[in-house]
Structure 1
Amino acid sequence: MSTAQHLAAIDLLCSREFPAEHGRSGSGVGGPGYHIAELLTSDGFWEDDGTQWEATADQYDAERDGLSVLLADRWGAPQIFSLAGLFERTQGGDEVEDVSEPWGSLSASVPDLHLWRVDGRWIALGVSQWDKELPFQLLAVVTEIDPP
């Protein structure tokens, strides 16, 4: 996908109704109050000494940052919102917190988001990477659910 296609996908997500049920769509996943679109997905399996993995991580961060610059022209500078603490609160221990979607699933694979508040909705960009052996994804999120 090109940058223009990424922007068009985000615009489409902003204009669509949220699904009534959790599930997959052609562009990602959604549920009551949110859409998550997979804008770009890398190849998986990293069998080198880590340099390819690092280069891909850098590439996906650069893709997110470049798209953020264009969105900042529309909506102003993004907030950088860390999900690390949220991830810790949802994992093991005596007091596991139940976090509403999309924030719970995002915290499992996205370290931080570039986040805007526009017309009563949150719009976010993040880079997801579930495990070193799995692909990177550039994600766009549109939700009416406030971050925890």
Structure 2
Amino acid sequence: MNIARHVALVDELCYRPFPAEYGPSDVGFEGPGHHVAVLEGEGGPVDGPAGWAVAVERLEKDRDALYAALAARWGEVDPWNLRTVLLRTAREEIPEPWAWLSARAGVAWLWEVRGTGRWAAVAVTGRDPGDVPQLVAVVTETVPP
């Protein structure tokens, strides 16, 4: 993992214009009001539940190392429980990219990025052994639900 490269990309996304439509980007995908960057990932399915668990554990360590670098800039925050957001999707409309993230990750580190009007989150997606684990960064102007 290259923390400096990941921090630089998150910084860039905090100032990159948002697109008018949904689609792929050079770092992941984007839509009106948000960018999602895949920072690290397995690139394809992992080998069984044990391989999935090892991949998730490695990516969670990388997520937490990235948290330390971003917390030094933006302040320490408590982990954000995305499971509660996912439960809310059953009875209310959760805006993107938060609905997407809550369907794929259990916890995220989340900051309001001072002076930008944007929110930044880092999380590990791939909740289940059938999913491909990835370390992602989300930058959006949409206030978290």
The alignment's TM-score, normalised by the length of structure 2, stands at 0.90
Matched, 1:116 2:111: yes
Max Rg structure: 1
- Structure 1: unaligned runs, 5 residues or longer: none
SS, match of residue 14 in structure 2: helix
| Percentage of pairs with the same residue | 41
Do 1:45 and 1:133's aligned partners in 2 also have CA atoms closer than 8 Å? Answer: yes
Match of 1:139 in 2: 136
Residue 47 of structure 1: how far off its partner (Å): 3.8
Is 1:27 aligned with 2:27?
yes
* CA offsets 1:19-53 (integer angstroms, 9 cap, x no match): 111221121111111111111111443444x3322
- What is the SS of the residue equivalent to 2:104? coil
For 2:79, give the aligned amino acid. Answer: I
**1-side partners of 2:47 and 2:68: how far apart?**
33
Aligned to 2:13: 13
**How far apart are the structure 2 equivalents of 1:71 and 1:20?**
28
Tell me how far 1:113 sits from its aligned partner.
Answer: 0.9
On the 8 A contact 2:3/2:69 being kept in 1, the answer is: no
Q: CA RMSD in A?
A: 1.6
* 1:36 maps to 2:28: no
1:98 is aligned to 93
The alignment's TM-score, normalised by the length of structure 1, stands at 0.88
Q: Which runs of 5+ in 2 are unaligned?
A: none
What one-letter code is carried by the residue in structure 2 that aligns with 1:74?
R
